[in-house]
Amino acid sequence: MAADEEYHREKWTWFGNEAERVEMDVIRNQHVLRSHVDKMALRRQAEKKKSAHMKYLEKLSQKAPDFAVPLRAHTVWEGMTVILSCSVQGCPPPKVEWYKDGEPLIISSRPWNYSLQENFGLSVLEIRRCSPEDAGEYKVVARSALGEATTFGTLVVNSCQGAVAGSEHWQTSGLQQQQDAQFDISFPPTWVREGSSLFLQCTFTSALLPFQQDVSWFRDGVRLQQSSNVDIKMFDNKATITIMTANKENEGVYCARLRTKDGFKEHMTFVYLKDGPAAVLEGPASPLAVEVSDVNKDYVFLTWQPPSADGASPVEGYYVER
């Protein structure tokens, strides 16, 4: 009997040790699995934040199209070769289109006459064996999702018979050079209170010639377009722009660009936006340049700039209401 009891006691002791060993293995495997799951969740969260930050940086690097080197006028003899070139910049890279006298320039229609090359923002049009038909006004338009930019250049072809093709863009019927308009009185640095209207005006020395009718307005290098809040008007010898309701985002360097025979003339000045009254007495003003970089059902990423008027107390945060 004593031997049987000893055998059964050893057997239960072995079974208990084996069960304890299995339990420890299960607990160890649970810890390993939980640690692996936590690492995967952290990796997914880090990748999501990285993707959102990369999109934000890509958005910051975007820039509307602009011509660093515009087209310029050329005068050549009939039968010569002329090269028209311009340099455009922008992010994303804009699409470039050529026009002649307001019509799209189809290179494939005259491959023996036209040759177009585009590399790294430089667009070069080569016109071989110029004839009076090639004279006229050439225009290059660069377009992207952020806007568009335009540059002009006139080609005059001197005929061997003495006629000057394309000169109607430059001369009067009396064959005397007509002076193009220049800036006369331009807008000075301007201070505007937030919420009020902004009005800028520039006058010219004479009435604008036909090729000068398109006076362009820019803010911080981005061309302004007609909209419900932006009113752009042209008169015989002046151009105006009115922003109906000016906000902090409208602060910056404003530029009026006038096309001339030699290229472009520009007038620039800075427009300052004073803070409007706070919604709460002695409280801070509204945040500036609010942008949404990412939206999800559980979160939203917001970026903004602090207001210049903080109500004599540092801004610690904002409440976002759904």
Q: What CATH code is carried by the domain that includes residue 265?
A: 2.60.40.10
Question: Which of 105, 137, 169 is a domain's end point?
Answer: 169
Using alpha carbons, select from 132, 130, 150, 137 the residue that is nearest to residue 83. 130
Lowest mean pLDDT across 47-61, 186-200, 225-239, 250-264:
47-61
For 251-288, write each residue's pLDDT tens digit: 888 999 988 877 888 888 888 888 776 666 666 766 76
* Residue 35 tokens, joined: 């640690």
Assess if residue 289 is contained within a domain.
yes
CA dist., res. 85 & res. 72, Å (int) = 8
Q: How many domains does the chain have?
A: 3
Residue 166 has pLDDT above 70, yes or no: no
Using alpha carbons, select from 223, 215, 218, 220 the residue that is nearest to residue 264. 215
Top pLDDT among 142 and 43 is at 142
Assess if residue 26 is contained within a domain.
no
Assess if residue 202 is contained within a domain.
yes
Residue 225 and residue 132 share a domain: no
CA dist., res. 14 & res. 228, Å (int) = 87
Q: Is the pTM of this model over 0.75?
A: no
Assess if residue 23 is contained within a domain.
no
Assess if residue 78 is contained within a domain.
yes
Using alpha carbons, select from 167, 155, 145, 169 the residue that is nearest to residue 85. 155
Residue 19 has pLDDT above 70, yes or no: yes
Domain residues for 319?
280-322
For 232-242, write each residue's pLDDT tens digit: 998 878 899 99
What DSSP character marks residue 215?
-
| Mean pLDDT, residues 87-100 taken together | 91
Question: Which of 169, 202, 225 is a domain's end point?
Answer: 169
Residue 106 has pLDDT above 80, yes or no: yes
For 211-238, write each residue's pLDDT tens digit: 788 889 999 888 999 999 999 998 878 8
Assess if residue 8 is contained within a domain.
no
